[in-house]
């Protein structure tokens, strides 16, 4: 049976301009793209004949790909050197053949990843690289073939995907007497998070921009040492975010997110979450469950934080830490009240993996809902962001005021 192509590809004129750009660069340099520059993925095509499905990526230069499998759900993972994906917004959202959908993005510094969700168990039956018709680009083809469940399970065990990517910052060696604050922009890289109905605004980009603005505000005060779990569009596992905070001996951990609800235009407002083994309500439990699947979205088998606190000292530390977390959450809500639309229950609790450091006061701030046009307009407003960052900065100052007072530091209250 001949292959019936299902092609999601950028327009021919844009493709031609990209090929021309590649050719011009090669002519100017006297060789192909520089060895150190990332390859450009300009188009993707998915072709299916029922029994087999071929995933084709048009690249500016040849790359080495590694494939692996994961179960629950069934996925094919393609690991690549760093690739700049210049694909249409809708790429990867439609089902074709053995591929239900696919995601792509930066997985770690210097590494990119494609995660294919499968409609049924399938094996990688072939992988080829060949020049395209113009000779200016390379087509990487991954061929998938149906297989039985047991064979897929064995292959997934024998050839698993990488456990975790380590993109989070390491502990700083230099001593600093100032409070250490770790800002955690949610999602990133291959994990886009929530998105607006248009698909053009992604949570990962919005929260990174907000977090960078918050970092600058706090750094400009000179009172704090600020570290970010990511300062670029890269994936960081939930476990690595928590480990980075503990390794840095952070005095405060602030995770920044923006939610989205299908068909929930009327649901809006900001919410501050703290960690708890028992959720304060069903909506919070569902949100925590979604956020805790961030690693799975990126094709990572995350290592859960231990549920049991085995040491009485650790248990006492956890209780004290959660008290500090609640204290800071209350201060945030108090400052937000005059500048933001708050959720009807603005301080909630749930079992978020990213809030599970037993010795670091931690909060997760959902800035609003991308599914609400009113919230989205605010989230995109420079004036609103400035007010929010100022409110958070005041809450941070008030949270650390007692410590500064004990150390004889100049008053920090505005």
Give dist(CA 236, CA 88) in Å, integer: 24
Task: Judge if 185 and 330 occupy the same domain.
Answer: yes
Report pLDDT digits (tens) over 125-154. 999 999 998 889 999 999 999 999 999 999
Residues 6+ apart with CB under 8 A from 77: 67, 68, 69, 70, 113, 114, 115, 116, 161, 299
Whether 337 and 302 share a structural domain = yes
**How large a percentage of the chain has pLDDT more than 70?**
82
The pLDDT assigned to 353 comes to: 94
What is the rounded average pLDDT for all residues in the chain?
A: 85
| pLDDT higher than threshold 70 for residue 39 | yes
Tell me if 414 is assigned to some domain. no
Q: Containing domain of residue 119, as a range?
A: 4-158
Answer yes or no: is 21 within a domain. yes
| Residue 3: predicted pLDDT | 34
Residue 117 lies in a domain: yes
Report pLDDT digits (tens) over 193-239: 999 877 789 999 999 999 999 999 999 999 999 999 999 999 999 99
**Cα distance between residue 55 and residue 127, in whole Å:** 10
What pLDDT shows up at residue 7? 31
Mean pLDDT of all residues in 333-341: 94
59-63, 99-103, 153-157, 175-179: which range is least confident on average? 175-179
Helix then strand then coil, in percent of the chain rounded to 5, is 30, 30, 40
348 and 229 in a common domain: yes
What six digits make up the tokens of 372? 């609400």
CATH number, position 349: 3.40.630.40
pLDDT band at 303 (very low <50, low <70, confident <90, very high): low
Maximum CA pair distance of the chain? 80
> 89 and 149: one domain?
yes
Which secondary structure element, helix H or strand E, spans residue 183, and what is its range?
A: strand 180-185
Which of 398, 265, 272, 264 lies closest to 340 in space, CA to CA? Answer: 272
The pLDDT, as a whole number, for residue 17 is 41
Tally of structural domains, the chain:
2
Please report the pLDDT score of residue 169 as a whole number. Answer: 55
Q: Say which residue, 269 or 318, is predicted with more confidence.
A: 269
> What CA–CA distance (Å, rounded) separates 360 from 157?
35
Same domain, 311 and 367: yes
């Amino acid at each position: 049976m001949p292959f019936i192509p299902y092609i999601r590809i950028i327009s021919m004129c844009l493709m031609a301009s990209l090929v021309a750009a590649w050719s011009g660069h090669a002519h100017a340099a006297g060789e192909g793209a520089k060895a150190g520059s990332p390859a450009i993925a300009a188009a993707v095509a998915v072709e299916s004949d029922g029994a087999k499905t071929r995933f084709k990526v048009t690249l500016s230069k040849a790359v080495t790909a590694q494939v692996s499998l994961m179960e629950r759900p069934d996925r094919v993972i393609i690991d690549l050197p760093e690739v700049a994906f210049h694909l249409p917004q809708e790429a990867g959202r439609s089902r074709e053949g053995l591929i239900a959908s696919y995601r792509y993005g930066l997985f770690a510094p210097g590494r990119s990843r494609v995660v294919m969700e499968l409609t049924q168990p399938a094996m990688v039956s072939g992988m080829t690289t060949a020049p395209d018709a113009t000779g200016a680009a390379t087509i990487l083809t991954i061929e998938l073939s149906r297989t039985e469940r047991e064979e897929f399970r064995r292959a997934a065990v024998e050839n698993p995907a990488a456990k975790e990517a380590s993109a989070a910052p390491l502990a700083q060696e230099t001593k600093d007497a100032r409070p250490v604050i770790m800002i955690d922009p949610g999602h990133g890289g291959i994990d886009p998070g929530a998105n607006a109905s248009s698909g053009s605004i992604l949570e990962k980009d919005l929260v990174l921009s907000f977090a960078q603005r918050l970092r600058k505000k706090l750094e400009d005060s000179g009172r704090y040492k600020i570290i970010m779990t990511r300062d670029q569009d890269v994936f960081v596992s939930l476990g690595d975010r928590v480990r980075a905070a503990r390794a840095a001996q952070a005095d405060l951990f602030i995770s920044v997110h923006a939610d989205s609800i299908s068909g929930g235009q009327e649901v809006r407002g900001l919410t501050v979450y703290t960690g708890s083994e028992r959720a304060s309500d069903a909506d919070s439990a569902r949100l925590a469950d979604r956020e805790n699947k961030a690693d799975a979205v990126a094709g990572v088998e995350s290592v859960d934080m231990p549920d049991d606190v085995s040491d009485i000292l650790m248990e006492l530390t956890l209780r004290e830490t959660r008290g500090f977390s609640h204290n800071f959450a209350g201060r945030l809500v108090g400052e937000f009240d005059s500048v933001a639309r708050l959720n009807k229950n603005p301080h909630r609790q749930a079992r978020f993996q990213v809030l599970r450091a037993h010795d670091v006061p931690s909060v997760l701030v959902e800035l609003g809902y991308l599914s609400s046009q009113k919230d989205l307009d605010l989230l995109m407003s420079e004036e609103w962001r400035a007010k929010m960052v100022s409110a958070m900065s005041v809450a941070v100052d008030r949270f650390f005021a007692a410590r500064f007072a004990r150390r004889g530091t100049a008053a920090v209250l505005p």
